[in-house]
A = this chain, B = another copy of it.
Amino acid sequence: MGRKPNYKDEEGLKAFGKRLRELRLEKGVTQESLAYSTDLALSQIGRIERGEIGASISFVFLFASTLGVEPKDFFDFKKESVQK
C-alpha cells in the first residue's frame, strides 16, 4: 500500500467494529454465519468487531451485501478522530 501500509486508526476501527456488530445483531445474523458467508475465520469476525484488526474497503461491501445494508451504514457515527 505504500509508505504506511499498516496505518491503523484505532478509534475508527473500534467505531466500525461496533457498528458491524450492531447491524449484524439487528439483522439477527450470528458471527458464525457472517464468517461463513464472508469466508473469514470466526476469530477474525470477533477481532474486527472489537476493533482489534481492520479490513479492506472491499470487505465493507461484502459485509453490507451479506447483511443487506448499505456500505455507508457502517460509518453512521460521529468520530472525533485524532488529527495527525
- Residues of A at the B interface (CB closer than 8 Å) are 1-4, 7-9, 11-13, 16, 37-41, 44, 53-62, 64-65, 70-72, 74-76, 79, 81, 83-84
- A sample of 30 inter-chain contacts (CB < 8 A) reads A1-B44, A1-B53, A1-B59, A2-B39, A2-B41, A3-B39, A4-B38, A4-B40, A7-B58, A7-B59, A8-B58, A9-B57, A9-B61, A9-B62, A12-B58, A12-B60, A12-B61, A13-B57, A16-B57, A55-B57, A56-B57, A57-B60, A60-B75, A61-B79, A65-B81, A65-B83, A65-B84, A70-B75, A71-B79, A74-B75
- Nearest opposing residue in chain B for A65, CB measure: B81
